[in-house]
């Protein structure tokens, strides 16, 4: 899946348990987020600045926690751990690799590391750069300063590659047990299970065979795939589409509702622009028309001839 900073991404097969989110691949949590769950994954965990996480962090690979973040539980890593300045861990820190820790990190229940331990200097790197550049100016090496600045410019904005499957929580998001708030879009993968009510400013996309124990609220469009169970209400200012064999326990309200004839809604339907009942064959026909208009079917036929 393409990485998009404007979408809260929950990958296929993610399960929200009472206190922990169990997922696969890398987990990226943006700055100033509140997460009322712990995280367990077979990938890496990246935590941004000023983040509050109420539960444990457990990963088979590296864990990185940026400055001024607080972990309400323990941290377990199968490899290395990197902790920024003023990070607080209210539980225990356990890792099988190396520990890289900055100044004023607080681990209340102690730590256990099997690799090297590196305690970074509390003086920020930018201060070292400033001192070095000042000395170069005094020595008259202006060409050396230009070279250093060019190298810093080229390296600026460097990215860390992440796994193809990942969970991403954008900046300023709240993922809570009772209520979650997202300032952008929400994309939930197939065969997932979520807990909580979601208030989303953008679009909502729910993959097939997913269960949501809560309500969905959106300012844009809501799309629910096949065989979905939503144990709450759906409310949006945009259109709602509910595919076949899906079940909504509560009410559904939106600008226009597209409802499969073999889907079910236990509550009331409210639609300003009316309700359209769709059959599976209609959806297949729309898809074939779209493929024909973009010449996808023609390309597929050519590929078969070339095989």
pLDDT score, position 119: 74
Q: Is the C-alpha dihedral spanning 257, 258, 261, 263 positive or negative?
A: negative
Q: From the centroid of its chain, how far is CA 109?
A: 29
Region class of 172: left (phi > 0), else alpha (psi between -120 and 50), else beta: left
Question: Using CA atoms, how far apart are residues 102 and 307, in angstroms rounded to an integer?
Answer: 57
Residue-level pLDDT at 116: 84
**Average pLDDT, rounded, for the chain:** 85
pLDDT at residue 301 is higher than 50: no
Instruction: Pick the closest to residue 57 from 36, 43, 71 (CA basis).
Output: 71
Mean pLDDT of 246-251: 96
Is residue 11 predicted with pLDDT exceeding 70? Answer: yes
Residue 145 pLDDT exceeds 60: no
**pLDDT on residue 140:** 66
Q: What is the mean pLDDT of residues 11-15?
A: 96
pLDDT classification of 302: cutoffs 50, 70, 90: very low
Look at 121 and 45; give whichever has higher pLDDT. 45
Find all residues with CB under 8 Å of 127, minimum gap 6, and list them: none
Tens-place pLDDT, residues 55-71: 999 999 999 999 999 99
- Whole-number pLDDT of residue 296: 47
Of residues 2 and 236, more confidence is placed in: 236
Is residue 98 scored above 80 in pLDDT? yes
CA angle 281, 194, 28 (to 5 degrees): 105
pLDDT of residue 1: 54
pLDDT score recorded for residue 67: 92
H/E run at residue 265 = strand 264-265
| Residue whose pair of structure tokens reads 């990215």 in the numeric block | 159
Rg, the chain, Cα only:
24
User: Which pTM was predicted?
Assistant: 0.79
- What DSSP state is assigned to residue 55? S
């Amino acid at each position: 899946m393409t990485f998009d900073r404007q979408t809260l991404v929950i990958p296929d097969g993610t399960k929200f348990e009472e206190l922990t989110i169990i997922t696969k691949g890398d987990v990226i949590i943006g700055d100033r987020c509140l997460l009322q769950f712990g995280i367990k994954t077979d990938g890496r965990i990246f935590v941004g600045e000023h983040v509050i996480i109420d539960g444990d962090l457990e990963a088979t690979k590296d864990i990185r926690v940026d400055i001024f973040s607080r972990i309400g539980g323990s941290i377990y890593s199968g490899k290395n751990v990197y902790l920024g300045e003023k990070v607080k861990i209210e539980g225990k820190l356990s890792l099988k690799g190396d520990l890289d820790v900055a100044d004023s990190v607080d681990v209340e229940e102690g730590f256990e590391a099997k690799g090297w331990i590196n305690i970074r200097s509390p003086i920020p790197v930018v201060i070292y750069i400033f001192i070095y550049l000042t000395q170069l100016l005094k020595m008259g090496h202006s060409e050396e300063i230009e070279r250093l600045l060019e190298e810093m410019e080229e390296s600026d904005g460097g990215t860390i590659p992440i796994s193809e499957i990942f969970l991403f929580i954008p900046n300023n998001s709240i993922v809570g047990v009772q209520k979650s708030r997202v300032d952008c879009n929400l994309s939930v993968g197939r065969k997932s299970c979520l807990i909580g009510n979601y208030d989303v400013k953008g679009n909502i996309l729910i993959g097939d065979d997913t269960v949501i124990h809560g309500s969905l609220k959106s300012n844009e469009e809501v799309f629910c795939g096949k065989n979905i169970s939503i144990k709450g209400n759906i409310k949006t200012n945009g259109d709602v589409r509910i595919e076949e064999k899906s079940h909504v326990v509560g009410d559904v309200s939106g600008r226009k509702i597209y409802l499969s004839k073999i889907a079910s809604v236990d509550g009331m339907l409210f639609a300003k622009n009316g309700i359209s009942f769709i059959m599976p064959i209609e959806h297949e026909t729309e898809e074939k028309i779209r493929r024909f208009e973009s010449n996808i079917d023609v390309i597929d036929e050519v590929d078969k001839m070339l095989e």
